[in-house]
Amino acid sequence: MPSPPSPERLAAVEHHWCLRANTLCARRLPLHYFATVSRLGDGGFWYGLMVLLVLTDGLDGLRASLHLAATGLVALLLYTCLKRWTRRPRPFARDLRIRAWVAPLDEFSFPSGHTLHAVAFSVVAIAYYPGLAWLLVPFTASVAVSRVVLGLHYPSDVLAATGLGGGLALTSLWLAETGSGLI
Rounded distance between C-alpha atoms, residue 54 and residue 168, angstroms: 23
SS (H, E, C) 125-182: HHHHCHHHHHHHHHHHHHHHHHHHHCCCCCHHHHHHHHHHHHHHHHHHHHHHHHCCCC
DSSP code, position 6 = P
The crossing angle, in degrees rounded to 10, of helices 133-149 and 113-128 is 180
Q: How far is CA 2 from the centre of its chain?
A: 33
For the entire predicted model, the pTM comes to: 0.91
Sign (positive/negative) of CA torsion 119, 121, 122, 127?
Answer: positive
CB 166 within 8 A of CB 111: no
Query: Per residue of the chain (183 residues), what is the pLDDT tens digit?
Result: 777 777 788 888 888 889 899 998 999 999 999 999 999 999 999 999 999 999 999 999 999 999 999 999 999 999 999 999 999 999 999 888 999 999 998 889 999 999 999 999 999 999 999 999 999 999 999 999 999 999 999 999 999 999 999 999 999 999 998 876 555
Q: How far is CA 118 from the centre of its chain?
A: 5
Name the phi and psi angles at 108, rounded to 5: -105, 165
